[in-house]
Amino acid sequence: MRVIFDPETDTLSIILRDVKIVESDEVKEGIIVDYGKDGKVVSIEILDASEQVSEPQGILYELKGKEKAIA
């Protein structure tokens, strides 16, 4: 999984799988979900991320009760 913030376009992308995208849906305004040929989610893109995410340039990764801050 990769999380990419692009300050030039103000988009936050969460890439779950490295497969070709065959379909995209804007599920809510500014939230785009991409799907592979198997119908499973490939990635999620958030437009105008700095307006929707509290800290788009930093993430907190949590794994089953353990927290690790990643800047």
**pLDDT score for 17:** 97
Report the percentage of the chain scoring pLDDT > 90: 68
Domain positions in the chain are 2-70
Written as six digits, the tokens of 42 are 């490939």
Q: Which of 2-11, 24-33, 39-48, 51-60 has the lowest mean pLDDT?
A: 51-60
Ramachandran sector of residue 53 (left: φ over 0; alpha: ψ -120 to 50; beta: rest): beta
Higher pLDDT among residues 45 and 62, named by residue: 45
Q: Is the pLDDT of residue 9 over 80?
A: yes
Instruction: Answer whether residue 51 shows pLDDT above 60.
Output: yes
